Amino acid sequence: MTHQNDNSGANKVWFITGTSRGFGRVWADAALKRGDKVAATARKLESIADLAEKYGTNVLTLELDVTKPNQVKTAVEQAHAHFGRLDIVLNNAGYSLVGTIEEASADDVRAMYDTNIFGALSVIQAALPLLRRQGGGHILGTSSNLGHVTLPVIGYYCSSKWAFEAIHESLAAEVKEFGIKVTIIEPGAYATEFGSQESLKFAPSLDIYKDFKEQFFGRLRGMERGDPEATPEAIFKIVDAENPPLRINLGSHNLSWTRSAYTERLAEWEAWEDVSNTAQGGAK
């Protein structure tokens, strides 16, 4: 069966990870409300049971731990077989590791990467043969504005998003010829459950960072947060577009922060350009 994504905005089929709460829940619910079909996944099936009760046959709820590649492959193939196609594959599962670079253990960092990076890769690699076979599709990934800038205390989380960005940018170039589109979604600060205990893992604390972290969390608490319920229309514009962007900010604060960070980087590179050039050596 060959299916070219239609851009009318109607009757799209989604596969979404991490739909128990946060953006995943908001976007799954909004897609179903507009009449699309959704394969909604979560680690605990009971956390998304209400979607099945509310939307009936338009939703397929699947238990999925993205850190288990075989389970991922089964879920993606089951969703594709159930609905006959997948138009949108949205990697949304993820969490943040809270701790300074010194505090977090390698095991903690690996565990976060297993979800944030390798989990997303498992979904992408399971979906690509199916999307190629059907003649196209759209892969979306929830990154963050922290995929371009960093904050202390959550540096490892930022690093996972920098990796996420690079992977998706390479992917976009590799799959374009197959009619597969790629978009990286970059939310700023939102009032989601992402800051809840279920979405955060804390590394053991060292006393030397106590004051620094207290100041950091004080600034975080004072940040203006966007309304998650305001985001679905932006997501729909992206998935309904004939030529969707590779990257899209969600929220009004990201661009000024990213612009400032890149301005500083360029200025520093340029200030040290003479030193950089001497490292080139003579022509070979």
Examine the pLDDT at 4 and tell me if it is beyond 50: no
Is the distance from CB of 189 to CB of 224 less than 8 angstroms?
Answer: yes
Given 12, 161, 181, 190, which residue is catalytic?
Answer: 161
What pLDDT is stored for residue 193 in this prediction?
Answer: 55
Structure confidence at residue 190 as a pLDDT band (50, 70, 90): confident
**3-class secondary structure, 17:** coil
What pLDDT is stored for residue 245 in this prediction?
Answer: 98
Q: Distance between CA 12 and CA 34 in Å, rounded?
A: 10
- Annotated active-site residue 55? The verdict is no
Tokens found for residue 14: 């989604």
| Tens of pLDDT, residues 43-63 | 999 999 999 999 999 999 999
Choice between 77 and 4, residue whose per-residue pLDDT is larger: 77
Examine the pLDDT at 84 and tell me if it is beyond 90: yes
Q: pTM for the whole thing?
A: 0.92
Given 157, 159, 160, 181, which residue is catalytic?
Answer: 157
41 DSSP 8-state letter? E
- Residue-range domains of the chain with CATH: 13-278 (3.40.50.720)
Given 96, 143, 159, 160, which residue is catalytic?
Answer: 143
What pLDDT is stored for residue 3 in this prediction?
Answer: 38
Phi first, then psi, for residue 60 (nearest 5°) are -120, 115
- Annotated active-site residue 12? The verdict is no
Structure confidence at residue 37 as a pLDDT band (50, 70, 90): very high
DSSP of 101-169: TTTS-HHHHHHHHIIIIIIHHHHHHHHHHHHHHHT-EEEEEE--GGGTS--TT-HHHHHHHHHHHHHHH
| Tens of pLDDT, residues 163-176 | 999 999 999 999 99
